[in-house]
Structure 1
Amino acid sequence: MSAPSSEEQHDLKKTRMVFVKWMKPPLGWFKLNTDGSSVQQRKIAGGGGVIRDGFGNWVVGFSIGFNFTSSVMAELLALRDGLIIAKSVGIKKIVVELDAKVVVSLITNSSNTKKSINSSVMDCKNLLQGFEECIVQHTYREGNRVADVLAKMGSYQADKFFIHYHYAPPNRETSFLLALDNMNVLTARSMKS
């Protein structure tokens, strides 16, 4: 085995490790994690999400299939559906967390958006105004694992546009990831400096 070249050593110096974990919302608040999934090769898309309380308890999750669309649109549609569900269960204070920086930026900034996604962005902004208090923030994929599993489930659903409500984790993988989140397990993420 040869020693790393100077170029490889330079690249190693540019990376750093960040430890990520899912964080509980403050007591009296709820957290909505959403994710979108768009698989170009299979022409499928879906979304999913989960709402948890200040103790990390599962309140409700969902998965939904969409006609094939872009990843940004899948993220926006999943967020919209998650906000509608949060309102329907009477949540007043909500932390919204997703791993798509572009969507967080679209929702938190007042800049113009492409016409193709403008109505979905406005839907999300309008729904957020219906909460007494809300925070929208980015997390890395490692802090959004439960929503990611639900989004992938949604993208493979045969019945598109039908929301499946999950009042408990729907499978072993989701239960396992929920338990890891509640145990504050850190996941390492390599980041370019």
Structure 2
Amino acid sequence: MSTFGVNAMAMNLFQDWQKAQEEGPESKKRPQLQQWCKPPPGWIKINIDASCRVDYDFIGAGCVVWDDNGCFVRARTCRIGGRMQAKEGEARSLREALIWIRQWRSLKCIFEMDVKAVVDAIHGGSGNSIFHTIVDDCVKILKHFEEVLIVFTRRSANKVAHSLAQATYFMPDPMEWLDIAPDFICNVIKDES
């Protein structure tokens, strides 16, 4: 297993342990959706998602950044040209997020996404498909980060990034927000609390 794989597994186990400590033993009796949790002190968390619709010639990508207090830092939407399978679209979305974040931060970043196949491929998958070519590009970009984790989360903990990816179908241009979240993101955050 690669260094990325070991680090991601450790972070996932740590977050599971933290949740278990907060919830107590009675929470085991009722099924729960995975909830988003803030990153450790000194880290940022970047949630990523893609939206692939067969009737469009692009995929929508959404990315939202949170600080270690769980506060909104910035967000971005963009369209990525071409028709592709969902797994390829998610990998392209990760690649776009890596490039965007690398422009202003390369230390203590957790990239969180809800497609396990992409996370697994980043941590050691290999192949010669278009998907693996995109993953290889992501791995090359990751080498420019000092401390970085790529982790899997359930869709229920990735709602804001999902909403951003969906929003690209209603926005003609890429959008970026700094410091203040747009209303539709605030509404998603409110619904989660």
TM-score (norm. length: structure 1) = 0.75
Unaligned runs of 5+ in 1: 1-15, 186-193
Q: Identify which range, 25-34 or 63-72, moves more after superposition.
A: 63-72
CA distance in 2, matches of 1:137, 1:180: 24
CA distance in 1, matches of 2:53, 2:186: 24
CA 1:73–1:126: 2 relative to 1, 3 Å:
same
Report whether the alignment pairs 1:169 with 2:147.
no
RMSD value over aligned CA atoms?
2.0
Q: Is the Cα contact below 8 Å between 2:106 and 2:144 reproduced in 1? A: no
**Correspondence for 2:108:** 93
Whichever of the two has the greater Rg, that structure is 1
Report whether the alignment pairs 1:119 with 2:133.
yes
Q: Which amino acid aligns with 2:118?
A: V
- 1:1-193 superposed matches below 5 A: 17-42=31-56, 44-67=58-81, 68-109=83-124, 111-159=125-173, 163-167=174-178, 168-170=180-182, 172-179=183-190, 185=193
> What is the deviation of 1:41?
4.1
> What is the deviation of 1:32?
0.7
CA 1:155–1:74: 2 relative to 1, 3 Å:
farther
Deviations 1:112-165 (A, max 9, x none): 234212321111111222211111111111100010011111244434xxx421
> What is the deviation of 1:82?
1.1
What is the number of equivalent residue pairs in this alignment? 162
CA distance in 2, matches of 1:38, 1:157: 15
Q: Is the Cα contact below 8 Å between 1:100 and 1:138 reproduced in 2? A: yes
Structure that is richer in strand per residue = 1
CA distance in 2, matches of 1:65, 1:77: 10
**Correspondence for 1:6:** none
Q: Is the Cα contact below 8 Å between 2:49 and 2:61 reproduced in 1? A: yes
CA 1:123–1:42: 2 relative to 1, 3 Å:
closer
Unaligned runs of 5+ in 2: 1-29
Q: Identify which range, 142-151 or 75-84, moves more after superposition.
A: 75-84
CA distance in 2, matches of 1:21, 1:158: 31
Percent identity over paired residues: 28
Report which structure shows greater RCO (CA 8 Å, sep ≥6).
1
> What is the deviation of 1:22?
0.6
TM-score (norm. length: structure 2) = 0.75
Q: Is the Cα contact below 8 Å between 2:61 and 2:77 reproduced in 1? A: yes
**Equivalent position SS for 1:21:** coil
CA distance in 2, matches of 1:79, 1:169: 21
**Equivalent position SS for 2:33:** strand
